[in-house]
A = this chain, B = another copy of it.
Amino acid sequence: MKPAYDALKQVVNRSGFGSECHLLIKTLVKASAQELKRCKRLPLVSKVAEKSYFAFKLGKRRSRPVNADLFDVRSTEALKIFQGILNGNRHHFSSEEITRSIYTVAMTCCAGRDVTSDNDQKTPGTMFEWLCAAAVQAALNVAPKRSLPVLNLDLRGELPTDFVFDLGEEKPKFHLPVKTSTRERIIQVWAHQRVLDGVYGVGRFLAMPIILTETKLDAKKLEVVEICLPWQWRLYQMHIANLWNVCYLDAPAAYLELDAKFPRIGVATIGDVLKKGGRLDALLSAHRLL
């Protein structure tokens, strides 16, 4: 899958996440699926209620935990839906189809890399960023930026950011950190949002982190747990900044619960955000952009 990765990297660096990269994403996912076909499936002991996990195993190497219910074994079907989303047809699919498709495509790439490299966290993270950026670009029809100009008295320069999708003057601007998992590092997302609020004004940027999963594997016991800090999230939301929606592929129940609590933190699957009439559409409608 290395040649496919390198080819995609080149196109992403040159022209971002538009149609030129879609074919190369397909090639990368297919190459990754080929690696996984050579693997055995290793059942894992799930300590997460109502979820079951397995790992791909190739020789001595083992992939991160894969959610057995979300991972679509018919990988061509998942890829077809993902290509549909990239082609601007997210409204054709249900919330579950969107979530399963993006989860499967992302996990295929990440697990494919896991079983063919030693301790590489960076490449899976980068591939997941690309897949999410391409999907969101297709939904919003605008390319993301990775930095913003700061002009504030004698303080001038470029502020590096996560993906920023700017719908234009007087229109919503989205701040999209994309992470394969966050644990206690999630506080960075609130802190970056606070900086955007401070530099540009509160409400200018809507934060929508996209996170793959919060699972952690105990390598000896082969047990999967979810690391969740819902109590800290509430303090962050109250005292640092306000996130618009935290978006999960494999959503932890402990965080989904926060979506119904007061004070509220929006937490949803990516399907519930991107589906027809979902959270993104509700926002776009409110701004007469749909």
What per-residue 1/0 map shows which CB atoms of A147-177 lie under 8 Å from chain B?
A: 0001000010101100000000000000000
- Is A289 at the interface (CB under 8 A from chain B)? no
Interface residues on A, range: 20 to 34
A195 to B231, CA, bound (A): 13
Q: Are B191 and A187 in contact (CB under 8 A)?
A: yes
Contact A155 B191, CB 8 Å, known A198-B239, A199-B239, A240-B198? no
A177 CB, nearest partner CB in chain B, Å: 12
A157: chain B residues within 8 A (beta carbon) = 231
A180 to B149, CA, bound (A): 31
In the assembled complex, the Cα of A109 lies from the Cα of B198 at a distance in Å of: 41
- Known A188-B187, A235-B150; contact A195-B240, beta-carbon cutoff 8 A: yes
The residue that A195 contacts in the complex, of B150, B160, B239, with Cβ under 8 A, is B239
The answer to the question of A190 belonging to the interface, with a C-beta cut-off of 8 Å to chain B, is yes
Distance in Å from the Cβ of A254 to the closest Cβ of chain B? Answer: 14
Q: Mark A19-47, 1 if CB is under 8 A from B, else 0.
A: 00000000000000000000000000000
**Residues of the B chain whose Cβ atoms lie less than 8 Å from the Cβ of A194:** 191, 194, 239-240
Among B150, B160, B188, B238, the residue within 8 A (CB) of A191 is: B188
Bound: A187/B159 CA distance, A: 14
Q: How far is the CB of A4 from chain B (nearest CB, A)?
A: 24
Q: Which residues of B contact A232 (CB under 8 A)?
A: 159-160
A91 contacts partner chain B, Cβ-Cβ < 8 Å? no
Interface residues in chain A, defined as those with a beta carbon under 8 Å from any beta carbon in chain B:
119, 150, 155, 157, 159-160, 185, 187-188, 190-192, 194-195, 197-199, 231-232, 234-236, 238-240
